[in-house]
Amino acid sequence: MTNYPHLLAPLDLGHVTLPNRVLMGSMHTGLEETKDWNRVAEFYAARARGGVGLMVTGGMAPNREGGVFPGAAGLFNDQDIANHRVITDRVHDAGGRIAMQILHAGRYAYGPECVSASPIKSPISPFPPKELDEDGIEKQIADIVTSATRAREAGYDGVEIMGSEGYFINQFLVTHTNKREDRWGGSYENRMRLAIEIVRRTRAAVGDDFIIIYRLSMIDLVPGGSTFDEVIQLAQEIETAGASIINTGIGWHEARIPTIATSVPRAAFAWVTKKLMGKVGIPVITSNRINTPEVAEDVLASGAADMVSMARPFLADADFVRKAAEGKAETIAPCIACNQACLDHTFNGKISTCLVNPRACHETELTITPTEAAKSIAVVGAGPAGLSAAMTAAERGHKVTLFDRAEQIGGQLNMARVIPGKEEFHGLVDWFGTRVGDLDIALELGRDVSADDLGEFDEVIIATGVVPRDPGIPGQEGSNVLNYIDVLRGKAPVGERVAVIGAGGIGFDVAEYLVHQGESPTENLDLWREEWGIGDPAETRGGLAPEGPQPEAPARQITLLQRKSEAPGKRLGKTTGWIHRAALRMKDVKMMGGVNYERIDARGIHISQGEARENPTLIEVDTVVLCAGQLPERSLADALEARGITPHVIGGADVAAELDAKRAINQGTRLAATL
Ligand code: FAD
Ligand code: NAP
Ligand code: SF4
């Protein structure tokens, strides 16, 4: 008897039966652009072996003008078809099924050739699109249909037609971006025409025994977005036009509401998909922030959808479904929705991977093989660097002892997890704990290790992390000055008015921690929807609440300071920085750059501005919190070196600048893969 009867139930699509209700949603990983087809194939085959019901590839451009960026991959010729055959053959050999997403970006295409319904530039692209004429629209439809027939030739089991997230098809649907007066604009019947014609002609071209998923924007989260009556009408027309499945799209890319970040509650939008249930006869998939089998099962059991889409969780763990089916859900590496190694990489032009699983998209290069010469290995520090090194070494058959002076594993992750909106870090630390237990690692907590303790080991790995940087501000020894560790570990009370010194990741997190009180909105969907102004698309166009965002009053009055003159928070995550900045602005946090810290006294902090130290000002506060960066904790490494022992030094102990858990885990894993 399984714990996940709904999740693991087969789904009959007529010509094919999927073994379970799990779709691996489309992700642009950048792998296709490497043209290393063995590598791409192995990425998908690993997920097929892991038991996922159906996978969707990253978006493939139907033509040059519709590519998300110049040079975006697509099936343009026979060679492309042959290359993609490598993927589909490998997936089928592994017992899996795979559909290719066709993504026409319309005005989101990052290039001067982009096209759309009307020549209205998007707020997230510098390129105004060309307005298509009748022939131009016919060409786009034909190119999409050709792309689908080529996908079939390449061995795909189906296609997903991307009709949401504000891309090309979505741009025709709403008056916000479609100002046309011909048969493709004006009435909703006309605006739907493009979507319907694409699905109808695709079905006619590919035949009946081919899956067509249509990704439909169910809540646009932009002004002038669709109403839910329009969503239902479109879904019904799409079914009639020949789609096999409807998948849920949430929010346009230009929407200023977070939809997949870690601070978004789990399954935050399943209620939207549920509104469509019973309105169409084909299966409906829900999506966004579903990251455990329990959440997925609950969503399905509540009747919110017929199937769930999870994308990033399959970067974190290729074997998600298999482990759930085997009753080992606690061993699934959790996607914490951080975007740090996946979407942030994509938007920085790098290949995606995963903070939790550095092997994602590196399956052919980062291999973890059994060792031929087992060694005794000491790992000092059970933060993410030490944990990853210990786990990988133990997996390979080494005898590992993992020390930490703290009474719990996790290192700084134990501070990250108390930040409202970062609750997912609890799951990450729990998963590390499960793995350490399963792998038979000798865990020695509460052990402040010195060089004397390490003489007997074959290899020593130092992962002792960091110490807070001392900013050396006159007066910082006063009782009104705390550092972030004191605050986040609850060691000292914090006053009503607070100045935070340092606006890096930790400064922002500390500010977030201090402005909140009571329940975290991430754990209370109603509160979170109020905070961001998410209404019901059945009542308000696009699902934007008429009253706008209604955050709770801030618990404290915060001023966030940095010396650099750039905008505070500019260096935060590419795809999540805006959320942190918006969240703090909603709580009236004052952010100041370009300041000098002159001194701290009982009244607060005295600052001046710029190199000339102008505008001396006192910011009156009760508490000053130091978040001025970190330095490597190398004392143990240095002591060993002084004795002629050369340890491996990883994580913050190695380099503290720009350190994050992604680098710590990657470095720990890669080191241990070679020992
Ligand atoms: P640490 O996590 O610092 O672990 C070092 C460990 O070594 C500690 O447990 C310590 O007790 C132990 N130790 C030290 N000396 C000894 C000794 N002599 N004997 C025994 N044990 C010893 N990163 C992200 O990627 N994303 C985030 O969202 C994020 N948010 C954060 C939020 C906060 C509030 C904080 C503080 C950090 C956050 N980070 C985040 C940063 C991330 O936690 C660190 O980059 C990461 O933990 C560094 O890993 P590490 O293993 O090198 O060191
Ligand atoms: P950080 O991002 O490097 O920020 C340090 C801050 O301290 C900066 O604002 C810096 O700004 C200031 N500073 C540096 N030297 C100073 C000095 N001598 N006096 C006063 N201020 C000084 O480091 P962090 O905030 O400590 O975070 C540590 C690491 O954890 C980061 O690398 C980060 O990636 C990671 N982290 C990530 C997240 C995430 O969400 N991804 C969240 C938290 C932490 P000025 O020099 O301009 O004053
Ligand atoms: Fe999930 Fe973060 Fe990994 Fe992306 S990098 S898959 S968001 S854990």
Look up tokens 């004795």; give the residue: 643
- Please choose from 412, 415, 512, 513 the residue to mutate so as to test ligand 1's pocket, defined by most ligand atoms within 8 A of CB: 412
Give distance in angstroms: CA of 314 to centre of ligand 3. 9
Give the number of the ligand closest to the Cα of residue 506.
2
Instruction: Output the residue whose Cα is nearest ligand 2's atom 19.
Output: 471
254 lines ligand 1 (CB under 6 A): no
CB 320, CB 7: distance < 8 Å: no
662 lines ligand 1 (CB under 6 A): yes
Give distance in angstroms: CA of 664 to centre of ligand 1. 9
pLDDT in tens, 390-400: 999 999 999 99
427 lines ligand 1 (CB under 6 A): no
pLDDT of 590:
98
- Helix ranges (H only) for 94-175 are 134-153, 168-173
Look up tokens 């004397």; give the residue: 452
- C-alpha of 72 from chain center: 21
Give distance in angstroms: CA of 265 to centre of ligand 2. 27
pLDDT of 386:
98
pLDDT of 354:
98
**Binding pocket residue ranges, ligand 3, CB within 6 Å:** 312, 315-316, 335-342, 354-356
Minimal CA–CA distance to 529: which of 341, 251, 130? 251
pLDDT of 488:
97
Give distance in angstroms: CA of 330 to centre of ligand 3. 17
Give the number of the ligand closest to the Cα of residue 422.
1
Q: Which domains does the chain have, with CATH numbers?
A: 11-335 (3.20.20.70), 376-467+631-674 (3.40.50.720), 470-517+552-628 (3.50.50.60)
> Please, what is the Cα angle at 93 between 360 and 320, to 5 degrees?
40
Minimal CA–CA distance to 306: which of 2, 11, 4? 11
pLDDT of 331:
98
Rounded CA separation 263/253 (Å)? 17
Q: What values do phi and psi take at 622, rounded to 5?
A: -90, -30
383 lines ligand 1 (CB under 6 A): yes
DSSP of 480-539:
TEEEHHHHHTT-S---SEEEEE--SHHHHHHHHHHH--SS-GGG-HHHHHHHHTB--TTT
SS3 at position 416: helix
pLDDT of 1:
80
658 lines ligand 2 (CB under 6 A): yes
Ligand 1 atom closest to Cα of residue 653: 52
Instruction: Output the residue whose Cα is nearest ligand 3's atom 3.
Output: 354
Ligand 3 atom closest to Cα of residue 342: 4
Give distance in angstroms: CA of 65 to centre of ligand 2. 40
- Catalytic residue numbers, as ranges: 167
Instruction: Output the residue whose Cα is nearest ligand 1's atom 32.
Output: 416
pLDDT of 497:
98
Give distance in angstroms: CA of 627 to centre of ligand 1. 14
User: Within the chain, which residues score under 50 in pLDDT?
Assistant: none
Rounded CA separation 514/510 (Å)? 6
Show the tokens assigned to 481: 């000055």
Show the tokens assigned to 470: 């001392």
pLDDT over 70 percentage in the chain: 100
Give the number of the ligand closest to the Cα of residue 417.
1
Ligand 2 atom closest to Cα of residue 506: 25
Question: CA end-to-end span of the chain, whole Å?
Answer: 41
Give distance in angstroms: CA of 381 to centre of ligand 1. 9
Instruction: Output the residue whose Cα is nearest ligand 3's atom 6.
Output: 312
- Please choose from 563, 564, 609, 658 the residue to mutate so as to test ligand 2's pocket, defined by most ligand atoms within 8 A of CB: 563
Show the tokens assigned to 32: 């296709």
Q: Which pairing describes strands 630-632 and 466-468: parallel, antiparallel, or unpaired? A: antiparallel
Rg (CA), the chain: 26
Give the number of the ligand closest to the Cα of residue 661.
1
pLDDT in tens, 328-351: 999 999 999 999 999 999 999 999
The 3-state DSSP composition of the chain as helix, strand, coil percent (nearest 5) reads 35, 20, 50
pLDDT of 33:
87
SS3 at position 223: coil
